[in-house]
Structure 1
Amino acid sequence: MRILVVCGAGASSTFVAQRLRSAAVRSGVPLEVAAGTEDTLAGLTEPVDIVLVGPHLESAFDRVRAVASVAGSIAVLLPSDAFEDRDGSRILQLLTAARAASATE
């Protein structure tokens, strides 16, 4: 599964991506995780399955979701305390739930 974590400038998303990668390895979940910004999403040349959107981009979430949808991706807004998830396990659970929910739609 390919994941893109986006935030305003790319710094916060880098931390979330690193933690998510570590949690996936510990759990045996095969993930490719990249970090970036909204511009990264708009310029993707290869599709991603899920776009995780930083909570500080909540006001832009509808726009990000629309861009992700055109690319065939699911967009998920991270909870306001996402950056407190130091080991990535909660974000991995959120990701797994989003993937399962999209499979039933």
Structure 2
Amino acid sequence: MLNVLLVCGSGASSGFMAANMRKEAAKRGLDMKITARSESEIENYIDEIDALMIGPHLQYLEDEMEERCEGTDVKVILMKPEYYSVLNGEKAIDHLLSVVGE
């Protein structure tokens, strides 16, 4: 199972994105757990995940999260505005899979 954490500022928009990604993952028969949290909660989950997807508006966190995840298998992925802004779960799953190589 691939454990994915999505983060945005408050957790609201990433919550909708996570729901759309879960639907798409189920449609494809992918074994994934996709949760959404606010960026303030990242530290609570970082040791339990395989991938961290960050909302495009939080790009400033990318380097810090890359450093934090160094030495682990966690992939840090900056979501693209073109699918994040319309909450396109299909494109988000495509992006995730292209990075994790599943």
TM-score normalised per structure 2: 0.86
Decide which moves more: 43-52 or 28-37: 43-52
Cα RMSD of the aligned pairs, angstroms, is 1.9
Query: Is residue 85 of structure 2 the alignment partner of residue 78 of structure 1?
Result: no
4+ long deviations beyond 6 Å? none
User: One-letter code of the match for 1:54?
Assistant: G
Gaps of at least 5 residues in structure 2 are: none
Alpha carbons of 1:91 and 1:22: their partners in 2 closer, same or farther (altered >3 Å)? Answer: same
1:43 counterpart residue number: 44
Q: How much does 1:41 deviate?
A: 1.5
Q: How much does 1:61 deviate?
A: 1.4
Q: How much does 1:39 deviate?
A: 2.4
Alpha carbons of 1:45 and 1:65: their partners in 2 closer, same or farther (altered >3 Å)? Answer: closer
| Identity fraction in percent | 24
Q: How much does 1:53 deviate?
A: 0.4
* SS of 2:69 mapped into structure 1: helix
2:69 counterpart residue number: 68
Q: How much does 1:45 deviate?
A: 7.1
TM-score normalised per structure 1: 0.84
Alignment deviations for residues 10-49 of structure 1 (CA, whole Å, 9 cap, x no partner)? 1111011001000000111111011012222211275200
Distance 1:57 1:43 in 2: 18
1:31 counterpart residue number: 32
| Bigger strand share | 2
